Structure formats: C-alpha cells, structure tokens
Amino acid sequence: MGKLIKNHWARLIVLTAAAYQILAAIQGFFWPKIFWDFATKNFDGAVKPVPILQIINLLFGIFILAWEWPLGIVTHSVLHRSIEARLVVYPLSALVALLLYQGTNAGLYYLIGMGVYFWAFSEGEIVCPVPWTLPRRYMVSKV
C-alpha cells in the first residue's frame, strides 16, 4: 500500500467546505441568521438589512474553490503551491463561515482541513505545480 498524501486529502476536505460555504451564503440571502443570535442580538446588523456576511462568505467560498480546484491562471503560481498561505487564509474563512448560521458545517470542515494541511506541512509535503500529481523522485544512479 502507498503512503497517504495528506495535502490531496486536505484539498478534498477544503473543496467540500468551500462548496458548502457558497451554498450556505446563498441560503443566507433568503434566511438571514447569525449563529450567535442566541447569546446576543448585536451581530444581527451583519446579516440584515444589508447582507454583508453573506456576501463575504460567497466571495471567500468562490476564491477558495478557485484556489483549490484550481483555475488555469492559479495552477502554476506560488500561491497554489504554498501550504503556508493556506494556513493563513483558511482560519479567516472558517471564522466568517462560523459566524453565519448556515455556514457552521463549512467552518468545521475548514478546521479539519487546516489540521490535515498542518499535518502535511509538518511532515514536509509539498504541493505539486500540476494539481493531483505526485512529486517526482530523482533517482541517483550509481556509477
């Protein structure tokens, strides 16, 4: 059996979270609700009458879906290959998703994906320039 390539697994988890975040943002336009409304009503201004939080969730979801899929312009960029950049952006996206009532599952998926990306980063994995490929082994020939 082969080794688990953790950054591929994390990519699938984060793709699921981004798709879920987009759907939650769209649903939030119709039923605006902040997750923490049981504790305080101070955050209701973020979801109604102007859907600020829903728009931010939609933009984060589209950006991360384009980053992880990836789009052709992102494929060979340094941003696409950087696990560190993901570990900086995903906590912000998880926070925004966790604030919206419909996006709590997406926020939890982001947290799991961040944990797996951190695991991959700590073991020295790299993200290949071409998506869904394996790093090449350089064989040293003995002469």
C-alpha pair distances (Å), 67 with each of 33, 74, 77: 28, 7, 10
pLDDT band at 48 (very low <50, low <70, confident <90, very high): confident
Neighbours of 44 (CB within 10 A): 14
100: helix, coil or strand?
strand
> Is residue 58 within 8 Å of residue 22, measured between CB atoms?
yes
The token pair that represents 111 in the structure block: 């947290």
pLDDT band at 37 (very low <50, low <70, confident <90, very high): confident
Higher pLDDT, 121 or 71: 121
Considering the entire predicted model, what is its pTM? 0.88
Half-sphere exposure of 76 (CA within 13 A, CB side): 0
The token pair that represents 30 in the structure block: 């119709």
- Tell me the per-residue pLDDT of 58-109, one tens digit each, with 9 for 90 and over: 999 999 999 998 887 877 788 888 999 999 999 999 999 999 999 999 999 9
Average pLDDT for residues 25-48, to the nearest whole number?
86
Q: What is the pLDDT of residue 112?
A: 97
